[in-house]
Amino acid sequence: MEDKQNYWSENLRLIFICLVIWFVVSFGCGVLFVEPLNEIRLGGYKLGFWFAQQGSIYTFVALIFWYGKKMNDLDKKYNVEDA
Amino acid sequence: MTRHSKLAMFLAPFLIIGGYVLSDLYLEDQANELKLFELKPMGHCDVFNDNCILKSGEFEINVMHQGIVTTVNSTYPLDTATLFLVDTQGEATPYQLGMKDSPYYWKRETPLGELIANKGEKYKLRFIGEIKGGKYIAEFYTQTVK
């Protein structure tokens, strides 16, 4: 029972981290901090603009695989992996 | 692909759309707020000799006076343009400029020519230009150099 609770709380923690990264990248880098980020250039593009157009999508895709890997590790740790 | 990766891939589009909606709402709210930008003269300002450029970021205006007509030319189209002539007592007389052919050019007859016709004469001006709810303001001096 305790294992299930620990598994669930670690799962929630991971989801929370993912949501924070999602918010920071999409809303933070693309909107809130776009002006200071635009002072930096990446391959000729303003960084804030790049985040809004491409960077956030790359991060979201990376986040999917990172979340998948971390959850698989968690499954192994608590012996609840797919058969 | 594990169940977790499948779940994450299923949820990702909803989060992307959520981020887009949030950003759109935020930017729309920002656009409705009044924005005020101050224009600063680039170097010496002499409207009588067609040498007076005011700048704020990428927005620039050129103020010039020929004959009895004062003209303002901007890099972005303006909705309204008002020029104020400020006398030595600080009294400002507003001159609402009229559009000349396109919203990039605004002009009006003003007595500015009489006030700065001679070399060395100096006069205080103020400018207010509106673009989509944003206001560009400037207070500057023009001095005739030749």
Could you read off the pLDDT tens digit of each residue along chain A, which spans 83 residues? 778 899 999 999 999 999 999 999 988 998 888 889 989 988 888 898 888 888 888 999 999 999 999 999 999 999 887 76
Q: Which residues of A touch B8 (CB under 8 A)?
A: 63-64, 67-68
ipTM of predicted assembly, 2 dp:
0.73
Cα distances from B68 to residues B97, B110, B121, in angstroms, run 13, 6, 17
Q: Which residues of B touch A26 (CB under 8 A)?
A: 15-16, 19-20, 22-23
Neighbouring CB atoms inside 10 A of B67's CB total 7
Where do the H-state alpha helices sit in A1-83?
A: 2-23, 34-38, 47-50, 56-77
Confidence of residue B133 (pLDDT cuts 50, 70, 90): confident
CA dist B5 and B12 (Å) reads 10
* Domains in chain B: boundaries: 1-33, 35-143
* Fold for the domain defined by B35-143: Immunoglobulin-like (2.60.40)
Using the CB atoms, write b or e for B115-132: b if 16+ within 10 Å: bbeeeeeebebebbbebe
pLDDT number for residue B86 = 94
Which of A27, A30, A64 comes nearest B9 by C-beta?
Answer: A64
A33 touches B: beta carbon within 8 Å: no
Cβ(B110)–Cβ(B85) below 8 Å? yes
Q: Residue B68 has what DSSP assignment?
A: T
CA dist B105 and B75 (Å) reads 9
A6 touches B: beta carbon within 8 Å: no
CA dist B13 and B19 (Å) reads 10
Cβ(B5)–Cβ(A68) below 8 Å? yes
Do A26 and B23 make contact, defined as CB atoms within 8 angstroms?
yes
CA dist A41 and A25 (Å) reads 17
CA distance B6 to chain A (A): 8
Query: Tell me, what amino acid is at A68?
Result: G
pLDDT number for residue B85 = 95
Nearest residue to B54 (alpha-carbon basis) of B41, B64, B65, B72? B41
pLDDT number for residue B8 = 87
